[in-house]
Amino acid sequence: MPANPDTATSRSVLVVLGMHRSGTSATAGALRCLGVPLGRRLYRGHAEVNAKGYFEHADMADLHDEALLALGSTWDDILLPADGWWQADALRPYARRLRERMRRDFGREPLWAVKDPRLCRLLPWWLTLLHEEGLTARCLLVLRSPEAVFRSLHRRDGFSREKAHWLWCLHYLEAERWSRDQARAVIDYDDFLEAPGACLAAAGARLGVTFPVAPERASDCLAAFLSRDLRHHHRHTVPDAAGPIVELAWTIYARLREQAAPAHAATELQSARQRMLQMQQAAGALWLEQLAALGMAHGGLALTLRRLVRSWSWYTGKPVRFLERLLGRDV
């Protein structure tokens, strides 16, 4: 994966990375306080989940879902990806449409941001697209404890602790692996809520980014946006009688909090991914095939419902939004 050129004159994209329910929406919303463009049409939030918004570019997020489906995957697919998947011919039409959206909405912007937890699973593909467009990727990894993410996912989607931790590991290992050669900064969500301006200023310095609005000048906007109600679950410690995947998630969490990413941390993270691969292989080919088929069916239904919800007007779509809430509030 080629690293993007890091020059003073290059146009940059802040790629906000993190597991679902990890604080990426709050981070992206805070970036908007700093004057960073996020796009024309963003997904609205849900009252009981992300009331202040997801801050996801709606067209790009839909394309991400479609691209994952074209690969036989979904956002909550527990299978590790095959090597070189981003070179698949099936992705070409989605790459073309993503480039069109980039040029249409950000063609004149020296700095813009894209946020979607699916980017963790699509990062090498996105980095290739940005490189081909002459854009410099600057990765902002938003980190939240595995237990806090599990409790949020359990509340929203009913996920078990094991599935939530498995997905947590997969998202962060893929994000770390493919962002390693890019300009990168890590924000811990709990620290961010306590001192957003300081965290963003430190991240900007590490990434070599000058925000349109300096963090110290955006303090009122940040304080109004990042209210205490955004923190539904505080940082936790490793739960008692934790299984192998839970323990692995906490090992990864500890290493990722070391922002300098020393050599020993990178080695441990690579070993963690190998352990996940071994656990996946132990499941057996038949079970893996069945899991992939179920994921495709679920993903196709979710994408269809999302298109219905987003394409209708507020009044016409009211019955569909009711269905959306029944099905997990994130179709």
Q: Given CA atoms 115, 105, 198, 177 in this order, what sign does their dihedral have?
A: positive
Overall size of the chain counted in residues: 331
> What CA–CA distances, in Å, run from 199 to 142, 185, 222?
11, 10, 12
**Bridge partners, 11 (sequence order):** 135
Look at residue 270 in the predicted model and tell me its pLDDT: 85
> What CA–CA distances, in Å, run from 132 to 96, 125, 222, 268, 298?
12, 11, 34, 32, 33
| Contact between 248 and 276 (Cβ < 8 Å) | yes
Within the chain, residue ranges assigned H as helices are 24-33, 58-70, 92-106, 119-132, 146-157, 161-179, 189-194, 196-207, 219-225, 244-256, 263-281, 285-311, 318-326
The two tokens of residue 156 are: 């929203």
Look at residue 109 in the predicted model and tell me its pLDDT: 95
Span between the terminal Cα atoms of the chain, in Å: 32
Provide the edge-to-edge strand list for the sheet that holds 11-17.
111-115, 11-17, 135-143, 183-188
What's the farthest any 2 CA atoms get from each other in the chain?
Answer: 57
Q: Is 299 exposed, middle or buried (0-12, 13-18, 19+ CB in 10 A)?
A: buried
**Bridge partners, 288 (sequence order):** none
Helices 146-157 and 244-256, interaxial angle, to 10°? 120
Look at residue 318 in the predicted model and tell me its pLDDT: 46
User: What is the rounded distance in angstroms from the CA atom of residue 43 to the CA atom of residue 38?
Assistant: 11
| Contact between 67 and 123 (Cβ < 8 Å) | no
For the chain, list the domains and their CATH numbers.
12-272 (3.40.50)
Quick: pLDDT tens for 152-182: 898 888 889 999 999 999 999 999 999 999 9
Strands 135-143 and 11-17: parallel
CA neighbor of 137 nearest in space, from 154, 119, 153: 119
Which residue ranges in the chain fall short of pLDDT 70? 1-9, 45-53, 228-241, 259-264, 283-331
CA–centroid distance for 255 within its chain: 19
| Contact between 24 and 14 (Cβ < 8 Å) | no
The structure tokens 């020059």 sit at 7
Look at residue 281 in the predicted model and tell me its pLDDT: 75
Quick: pLDDT tens for 108-146: 999 999 999 999 999 999 999 999 999 999 999 999 999
